[in-house]
Structure 1
Amino acid sequence: MTRLMLMLVLFVSTGAAIAAPVQARLYHNPGCICCEQYADYLNAKGYDVDVLDTDDMAALNEKHGVKPALSSCHTTLIGDYVVVGHVPEPVVAKLLREEPDIRGIALPGMPSGSPGMPGKKSESFVIKTLNGDVYTTY
């Protein structure tokens, strides 16, 4: 049912279709600025992000099948997927569009130049599935 809700389209009186914003819940440690910047980044890309504080990211990640080696400063639930870390939005859009049979994806750590993080991107980001396999590079 969740994927169906993501795909709902609103019709305006002119008959033009407007896609409803994709709902997301971003969990992070209270006060983490880069997490809030990542939420702002997704909001600017058309997502509707709720930012929720948690004092136990490890327990949240364990609940959603995120191994410690794949963790980051925040975990986002989008549709039926778990998105860990500062994953670029085009990769999130690809995940939602292609609907692969995986639990989620992760960009481990907090790489410089990734969305919400300062600094310059110095190499391709390797986004992994929650099983540790490479999902894509960006």
Structure 2
Amino acid sequence: MKNILIRAIAMWSLLAFASAFTGIAFAAPIQAALYHNPGCMCCEKYADYLNENGFDVEVLDTNDMAGINRQHGVPAKLSSCHTMMVGNYVVVGHVPAQVINKLLDEQPDIRGISLPGMPMGSPGMGGEKQEPFVIHTLSDDVYTTY
């Protein structure tokens, strides 16, 4: 038992030492809350995708997605099957992780972003990507392409 403990401490020490000199960072996962209709499997797949890409997603069931979207200023034409709160932003739909990371890094003065509908080939959806994803910003009553 003592040998196992000593090996574990040595391994962690070596890992910490190596990371200090190689630039490896151990970032905490990004906390997010994803609201969706109970039983929606593509939302579960999207949450799994985000969890695999540095997020810690809490999946919350709701039977009032329209109310969640109204509460966060998401127009009906920009809605999707789920709405997520991450940082100070609302993220609607199957938005790729790198776009969410860019949003969090740049911190623009907007309410959030949306990939409306459920485009084929987007994270959590099956199939092949058919065309470029158009991601919109949510800003007051105006939306623009991100």
Q: Same fold (TM over 0.5)?
A: yes
Residue 47 of structure 1 is matched in structure 2 by: 55
Count of residues in correspondence between the two structures: 124
% identical equivalent positions = 67
1-structure distance, mates of 2:95, 2:136 = 10
| Inter-partner Cα distance in structure 2 for 1:134 and 1:25 | 24
Counterpart position of 1:78: 86
User: After the TM superposition, which parts of structure 1 deviate over 4 Å for at least 4 consecutive aligned residues?
Assistant: none
- Matched residue, 2:143: 132
Alignment match, 2:6: none
Unaligned runs of 5+ residues in structure 1 are 1-11
For the residues of structure 1 that align with 2:65 and 2:58, how far apart are their CA atoms? 16
Could you say what the CA RMSD is over the residues aligned between the two structures, in angstroms?
A: 1.3
Quote the offset at 1:18 in angstroms.
2.1
| TM-score between the two structures when normalised by the length of structure 2 | 0.81
| Residue type of the alignment partner of 1:96 | L
Structure having the higher strand fraction is 1
Considering fraction of residues, name the structure with more helix: 2
- Structure whose alpha-carbon radius of gyration is higher: 2
Q: CA deviation at 1:19?
A: 1.3
3-state secondary structure, aligned to 2:128: coil
- The match for 1:3 is none
Rounded Cα–Cα distance in structure 2 between residues aligned with 1:119 and 1:32 = 17
Gaps of 5+ in 2: 1-11
